[in-house]
Structure formats: structure tokens, C-alpha cells
Amino acid sequence: MARRITKKDLIERAAEIFKSRDKAKDWMKEPHKALGGKSPAECFMTLSGAEEVLNLLGRIEHGVYS
């Protein structure tokens, strides 16, 4: 069974990418086109949504954001 992805996990990952915990928290609140207009904070409530957010963070990290 896969470990549940927590909001803390997502904020920590975003903070690594954005080099700031405050920027990460702000990013979590903003709606994103890549998430169907939802914020990462809204999406993380489901496992598939949390995985989408992690995927988006990976794309941002590698410059493939759309």
C-alpha cells in the first residue's frame, strides 16, 4: 500500500523547488490551469489529486510547466 501524501509533504517539495517555504505556501493556494483551475491545496485531498500536484511540481522543476 502506498504512503498517503500529506499537505506537509507537498509544501516541503514545493519549498525545495521555489527555494522558499512562504512561496510554497502561496503557490499551494493559487489556482493552476494545469490542475483544472484548482489550487494544489484543493487537489491534495485525494490520492490522485496529490499525485497530480507532485507531477506538476516535477514539471515546474524541470521547466516543462504548461
* Residues 10 and 56 sit within 8 Å (Cβ to Cβ): no
Range of the domain at 56: 7-61
Nearest CA among 14, 8, 19, 24 for reference residue 59: 14
Q: Is residue 2 part of a domain?
A: no
The pLDDT value recorded for residue 13 is: 96
Q: How many CA atoms lie within 13 A of 24 on its CB side?
A: 19
The pLDDT value recorded for residue 66 is: 58
Total of domains in the chain: 1
pLDDT tens column, 15-57: 999 999 999 999 999 999 999 999 999 998 888 999 999 999 9
For the chain, what's the residue count?
A: 66
Q: Is residue 1 part of a domain?
A: no
pTM: 0.87
44 Cα distance to chain centroid: 8
Give whole-number Cα distances, 17 to 1, 2, 45, 46, in Å: 27, 23, 21, 22
